[in-house]
Amino acid sequence: MQQNPSPSEPIVSLRDVQKSFGALRVLDGVSFAVERGEVLALIGRSGSGKSTALRCIDRFEKVDGGEIVVCGHRVDRPDVDLRALRQDVGIVFQSYNLFPHLTIEQNITLAPCAVKGMAASQARDLARKVLAQVGLEEKLHAYPEQLSGGQQQRAAIARSLAMQPKVMLFDEVTSALDPELTAEVLKVIEQLAADGMTMVMVTHEMGFAKGIADRIVFMHRGKVHETGPASILTSPTTPELMQFVGTGNLKS
């Protein structure tokens, strides 16, 4: 299995992906690709399948059909090396999911030490570095419960960054935050995009998607309904996207 795809190959590609939960068809032939350094925003109504599509990339959901290739890993195959895949893919969740019994530093150093066999002192340096990236150096020795929601989410992003992933997935990472805390998390993600990180994000922040995404994928009833550059948010071609952005609050 090829681990390092050539620069021309997409980092993530989904082709005709099918997924059902029982009788409910959640993904009905979804295809899209993410190039190296690209920021892709998955948008759509609740239940449109965007979160499921994102979770399929990191194989938190198994697909029923179609092909998913992520950093050279054939994710749709049953014999995919999950741990190798997940070293290449970072994922950040809506509910942060920091480990409550560990300090922020321990949250960050756990995987590099346990998975990559990194020396403890080296991992601590790394923790300082990634925390600086998200503006939380002073919280190194704090426990998650001592942080605000926005700080916890930034710490979760730092934890993911410490594994030096080739692509980052964001699953509605600001949905549990108020506007002020949302802004501080979005600033961190913006900086990551500026640094050239490849990202796929499920978001309800239309203004943010418009500002940061290289490409928008609008999902509707388990299908990619409309896709294109961020400008499709201001000039949608399908009535569904028109209605969606019309009801969403489109901040500039």
Q: In what order do the strands lie in the sheet containing 12-21?
A: 24-34, 12-21, 65-70, 73-74
| In contact, 219 and 43? CB cutoff 8 Å | yes
CA–CA separation, 252 and 245 (whole Å)? 12
Neighbouring CB atoms inside 10 A of 143's CB total 16
Shortest distance (Å) from residue 237 CB to other proteins: 35
What x-and-dash track marks residues 71-110 binding other proteins by CB under 8 A?
-----------xxx-xx-xxx-x-x-xxxxxxx------x
Q: Quick one: which of 146, 191, 231, 234 contacts other proteins (CB under 8 A)?
A: 146
How far is the CA of 185 from the CAs of 16, 27, 47, 156, 166, in angstroms? Answer: 33, 29, 24, 11, 20
Does 121 contact other proteins by CB under 8 A?
Answer: no
CA–CA separation, 52 and 128 (whole Å)? 33
Pick 70 or 216: Cβ nearer other proteins: 70
| In contact, 127 and 162? CB cutoff 8 Å | yes
Q: Among residue numbers 189 through 228, which ones bind other proteins (CB under 8 A)? A: none
- Binding residue count for other proteins, defined by CB under 8 A: 30
Pick 7 or 83: Cβ nearer other proteins: 83
Nearest to residue 221, comparing CAs of 200, 244, 246? 244
Tokens 């050539």, residue? 6
Region near other proteins per CB under 8 A, out of 14-22, 120-128, 154-162, 174-182 = 154-162
Does 145 contact other proteins by CB under 8 A?
Answer: yes
Pick 115 or 120: Cβ nearer other proteins: 115
Does 163 contact other proteins by CB under 8 A?
Answer: yes
Q: Quick one: which of 9, 20, 35, 60 contacts other proteins (CB under 8 A)?
A: 60
Pick 13 or 87: Cβ nearer other proteins: 87
Q: Quick one: which of 52, 151, 160, 198 contacts other proteins (CB under 8 A)?
A: 160
Does 115 contact other proteins by CB under 8 A?
Answer: yes
Tokens 């059909």, residue? 65
Pick 63 or 232: Cβ nearer other proteins: 63
CA–CA separation, 123 and 132 (whole Å)? 14
CA–CA separation, 157 and 190 (whole Å)? 12
Binding site for other proteins (CB under 8 A): 58, 60, 82-84, 86-87, 89-91, 93, 95, 97-103, 110-111, 114-115, 143, 145-146, 156, 159-160, 163
